[in-house]
Amino acid sequence: MKISPYSEDDMLGVEPLQLHFLFELKKQMSCALQLTNGTDSYIAFNIENTSPLSYFTQPQKGIVPPRSMWCVEITMQLQGKAPGYMRRANELIVWSTKANDCLVVEDITTNMFINEAVNVVDDVNLDVVFVVYEPQEASKETSVTIRPLIEC
């Protein structure tokens, strides 16, 4: 059974729900996140890092126009050692709320997503899975196997 990247009440479709990073020591790792607005409204979003690990999100906040998609790049900063857990739950949260068409990115604040009495707010939790890079010796050819550390 495939888990849908969003449900009927979501404002933004978020895909994937599990971010896979190819883990190598002392290297930055990146992956793409796609936000889809299937509504007729403008949707403001903010991506919150809930992890002690350092993620850089570009852009961290923005406005997705009606019936459009937005791509966000998530980069994990250099790591001197492997994280304690290779599968981490709720590392990032994508917050979204309807916005008027006059709103500009500079006006997006954390308060827009905290004050649910004023705004209807949707949140989507993202998990992170680290994938190990394992070179294998082969006869006359070099092959590479990439495997998840934890199977779910």
Predicted confidence (pLDDT) per residue in 10-47, tens digit: 589 999 999 988 877 788 889 999 999 999 999 999 99
Alpha carbon distance 33, 124 (integer Å): 12
| The model's pTM | 0.76
The pLDDT, as a whole number, for residue 13 is: 95
Stretch (H or E) spanning 56: strand 55-58
- The structural domains of the chain, ordered by start, are 13-148 (2.60.40.10)
Locate tokens 């009927």: which residue?
A: 8
Nearest to 76, CA basis, from 130, 34, 124? 130
The pLDDT, as a whole number, for residue 7 is: 47
Is the pLDDT at 78 greater than 90? The verdict is: no
113 three-state secondary structure: helix
Alpha helices (H) along the chain? 111-114
Is the pLDDT at 3 greater than 60? The verdict is: no
Predicted confidence (pLDDT) per residue in 108-152, tens digit: 988 888 866 667 889 999 998 888 766 655 544 554 544 444 332
Alpha carbon distance 26, 32 (integer Å): 20
